[in-house]
């Protein structure tokens, strides 16, 4: 807990990294190289345990999103709502 500022941040960061580790193992035989391999050597083979050990050893750090970007993180909802109404004139094709 001393590496992150809250329990929620720890859960979010470790879950995200565990998904990346799981993706690495899933694509290992394909040779794609899209994911970063585990950054620590450990006895555990569980992605979540590996992710938590990486956080504990400060191999990965979570960054808080900055308010300065000016982007609305929920803007895609407005875009989808506008797209649903387009072309809908109430006529059922009669």
pLDDT at 52 over 70: yes
Token pair of 86 as six digits: 């387009």
| Structural domain includes residue 93 | no
Q: Please report which confidence band the pLDDT of residue 72 belongs to, taking 50, 70 and 90 as the band edges.
A: low
| Structural domain includes residue 78 | no
Would you say 36 and 47 are in contact if contact means Cβ atoms under 8 Å apart? no
| Structural domain includes residue 50 | yes
| Structural domain includes residue 91 | no
Its sign, for the CA torsion 46, 24, 12, 79, is negative
Would you say 16 and 35 are in contact if contact means Cβ atoms under 8 Å apart? no
- Higher-scoring residue by pLDDT: 91, 18: 18
Q: Domain containing 50: what range? A: 1-63
- Name the domain count of the chain: 1
| Structural domain includes residue 89 | no
pLDDT at 60 over 70: yes
Crossing angle between the packed helical segments 47-56 and 7-26, to the nearest 10 degrees? 130
pTM of this prediction? 0.59
């Amino acid at each position: 807990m001393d590496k992150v500022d809250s329990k929620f941040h720890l859960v979010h960061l470790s879950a995200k990294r565990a998904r990346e580790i799981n993706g690495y193992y899933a694509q290992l035989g394909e040779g794609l190289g899209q994911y970063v391999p585990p950054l620590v050597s450990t006895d555990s083979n569980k992605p979540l345990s590996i992710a938590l050990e990486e956080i504990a050893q400060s191999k990965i750090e979570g960054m808080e999103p900055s308010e300065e970007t000016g982007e609305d993180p929920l803007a895609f909802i407005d875009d989808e709502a506008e797209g649903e109404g387009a072309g809908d004139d109430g006529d059922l094709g009669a």
